[in-house]
Amino acid sequence: MTLSFDPSTVNIPKGHHIGGGYVDLPGVEIEVLRPSDQQPMGIVNDGGEPAVEMAVAAARSALKTSRWSKLAPRERAKILIRFAQVIEDNNVYLGQLEAAGSSRLVSGTITGDAIRTAGVVRYFAEYCDKLEGIVTATESDTLSYVKREPYGIVGAIVPWNFPMITAAWKFAPALAAGNAVIMKTSELAPHSLLALAQLAAEAGLPAGLLNIINGYGHTTGAAIVRHPAVMMVSFTGSTQTGAAIMTLAAQSGIKPVTLELGGKSPQLVLADAGDLDVVASRVSAAFMANAGQVCTAGSRILVEENIAAEFIERVVGKTRQIKAGPTWDEATTFAPIISRRQLDRIDGMVRQTIAEGGSVITGGAPLEIRNEGNFYTPTLLDNVSDDNVGFREEFFGPVATIRAFADLEEGIALAAHPIYGLSASVHTTDIKKALKAADGIEAGMVWVNQHGRSPEFTYTAGGYKGSGFGKDMGRAGIEEFTRQKAVWVNYA
């Protein structure tokens, strides 16, 4: 089966998805462009407070009439498992929609992102009857237990870089735990989430439990965070916006937030890493996949000095093997940047890095290809000191800095970043060194001999420091959507 497709043939959802169906509401029009060729994908409206009010009303009514949180957990699981199946059955449509409107490549969306989204829903469905509390130690004739309860209505705000998967990380555990969800799409890639909400309705999820609304962050996103009926907010996006969400949440009442934020992740390559060509492929994929638009992108390459020259040469070789092109062409291996604005931002940061003393090993400019998409050349930068913008800030593009270190101790010290602590990887065949690095690096996720999330849904994701707090996926990922109630019974 050929995976390539014509993006103009894909059915584009219209409206917000509130109360189990598509809803048109007036609001500032947002034109969504396809990153691959800058052609219009569709128009969505900034929902603002009216959309949030409508979604809150739908969620309240759904929780009451469906008794979602009170159902036998297996009943919730059955519905969510059906939802997962419907996602899987529609993987071609979802995969094409995702590829047309985002930076994700069709070579991965149909068999990857769509199927993984279904997998996430299925994984959390299976948690419905496995969320357990504890009985605590007490004196006789008393019983004390702690149970987990849903919040009620939870808010979720997501970015554009893996639209469906990131959304599923939030709505699937939230629903499995018994909540209703109001989720805002990214204004840059909203359409696949609307389609997912429609599939949820078709799978029999009670109307109003999953509401997907469109709009800008400072209007619709802020209205979700501020709404008093929204009892917690799960956010994924930049560190700057995460800080704004915390401020908004504090200003509008006390409510918990979880923040999955940006990163500047180191990849430590030791001299004993093994076959250098294999390691160079792995390390370059970690900053070039999705054109570096990955929160965990391995954007700081640290290499032991006695292999540095040879290793850099191999990585440069890998950057030349890409095939940039439209996301809907299955032969494309290198993704576009989501928007012209983001492309200009990346290029501006590279210029600034050079102005502050950095130098270019390879790349360093937008990639000119015929179809007017937003592409940036894979770029390696050298001589980037700790006070250089190229070290301090996240490029969120296919750009990595390179630095050599003398020994493991120095490598671990260089891996530390003053702001971020999302993830890191160490490449070595020496288990002792690997474990020392895993212990020594201050990051929420560390990989040995790979870089990037494990395919297992059990792997809990989340950062340290400016990369956020709270977890997605794994057991912790569903527990975030519950609150704990302690009950004390005196039966003397």
Q: Residue 126 Cβ, how far from ligand NAD at the closest point, in Å?
A: 22
Nearer to ligand NAD, 208 or 237 (CB): 237
Q: Residue 468 Cβ, how far from ligand NAD at the closest point, in Å?
A: 6
Nearer to ligand NAD, 428 or 467 (CB): 467
- The DSSP annotation for 31-100 comes to EEE-TTT--EEEEEE--HHHHHHHHHHHHHHHHHHH-GGGS-HHHHHHHHHHHHHHHHHTHHHHHHHHHH
> Could you give the dihedral angle defined by the CA atoms of residues 417, 422, 428 and 434, in that order, rounded to the nearest 10 degrees?
90
Nearer to ligand NAD, 236 or 319 (CB): 236
C-beta nearest to ligand NAD: residue: 217
State which of residues 109, 236, 265, 353 lies at the interface with ligand NAD (CB under 6 A).
Answer: 236
Per the DSSP assignment, residues forming a β-bridge with 404 are 303
Kindly report the backbone phi and psi dihedral angles of residue 51, in degrees, each rounded to the nearest multiple of 5, phi listed first: -65, -40
Residues 395, 377: contact at Cβ < 8 Å?
no
Nearer to ligand NAD, 221 or 411 (CB): 221
Query: In this chain, which stretch among 29-37, 95-103, 231-239, 382-390 interacts with ligand NAD, using CB under 6 A?
Result: 231-239
The span from the CA of 173 to the CA of 86, in Å, is 18
State which of residues 96, 117, 186, 482 lies at the interface with ligand NAD (CB under 6 A).
Answer: 186
Tokens of 190: 């909203």
Contacts (CB under 6 A) with ligand NAD, residues 397-426:
422
Q: CA 350: distance to chain centroid?
A: 24
- The DSSP annotation for 426-477 comes to EE-S-HHHHHHHHHHS--SEEEES--S--SSTT--B--EETTEES-BSHHHH
Query: In this chain, which stretch among 36-44, 92-100, 151-159, 175-183 interacts with ligand NAD, using CB under 6 A?
Result: 151-159
State which of residues 118, 245, 308, 426 lies at the interface with ligand NAD (CB under 6 A).
Answer: 245
Q: Give CA separation, 311 vs 138, 169, 281, in Å.
A: 60, 36, 10
Instruction: Please give the sequence-ordered ranges of beta strands (E in DSSP) within 340-453, or none if there are none.
Output: 359-362, 379-382, 399-405, 420-421, 423-427, 445-448
Is position 444 an interface residue for ligand NAD (rule: CB under 6 A)? Answer: no
Cα R_g (the chain), whole angstroms: 23
The span from the CA of 432 to the CA of 215, in Å, is 49
Q: Residue 460 Cβ, how far from ligand NAD at the closest point, in Å?
A: 11
State which of residues 128, 261, 412, 426 lies at the interface with ligand NAD (CB under 6 A).
Answer: 261
Q: Active-site residue numbers?
A: 260, 295
Is position 266 an interface residue for ligand NAD (rule: CB under 6 A)? Answer: no
> Could you give the dihedral angle defined by the CA atoms of residues 231, 232, 238 and 239, in that order, rounded to the nearest 10 degrees?
110
Is position 184 an interface residue for ligand NAD (rule: CB under 6 A)? Answer: yes
Nearer to ligand NAD, 229 or 271 (CB): 229
Tell me which H or E stretch contains 307: helix 305-319
Nearer to ligand NAD, 66 or 236 (CB): 236
Nearer to ligand NAD, 68 or 160 (CB): 160
Is position 203 an interface residue for ligand NAD (rule: CB under 6 A)? Answer: no
Phi/psi region, residue 485 (left: phi>0; alpha: psi -120 to 50; beta: rest), is beta
Is position 16 an interface residue for ligand NAD (rule: CB under 6 A)? Answer: no
Q: Is the dihedral of CA 469, 344, 294, 33 positive or negative?
A: positive
Is position 262 an interface residue for ligand NAD (rule: CB under 6 A)? Answer: yes
Q: Residue 454 Cβ, how far from ligand NAD at the closest point, in Å?
A: 14
Q: Residue 228 Cβ, how far from ligand NAD at the closest point, in Å?
A: 16
State which of residues 19, 119, 221, 477 lies at the interface with ligand NAD (CB under 6 A).
Answer: 221
Is position 217 an interface residue for ligand NAD (rule: CB under 6 A)? Answer: yes
User: Quick one: which of 164, 175, 257, 238 has its CA closest to 210?
Assistant: 175
Query: In this chain, which stretch among 130-138, 142-150, 219-227, 344-352 interacts with ligand NAD, using CB under 6 A?
Result: 219-227
Is position 481 an interface residue for ligand NAD (rule: CB under 6 A)? Answer: no
Is position 358 an interface residue for ligand NAD (rule: CB under 6 A)? Answer: no
Burial class (CB in 10 A: 0-12, 13-18, 19+), 373: buried
Q: CA 373: distance to chain centroid?
A: 23
State which of residues 229, 244, 285, 354 lies at the interface with ligand NAD (CB under 6 A).
Answer: 244
Is position 218 an interface residue for ligand NAD (rule: CB under 6 A)? Answer: yes
Is position 157 an interface residue for ligand NAD (rule: CB under 6 A)? Answer: yes
Q: Residue 161 Cβ, how far from ligand NAD at the closest point, in Å?
A: 5
Tokens of 406: 């003398």
Number of residues that bind ligand NAD (CB under 6 A): 32
Residues 62, 206: contact at Cβ < 8 Å?
yes
Tokens of 387: 């006070």
| Residues of the shown chain interacting with ligand NAD in the complex, contacts defined by CB under 6 A | 157-161, 166, 184, 186-187, 216-218, 221-222, 225, 236-238, 241, 244-245, 260-263, 295, 394, 396, 422, 461, 463, 468
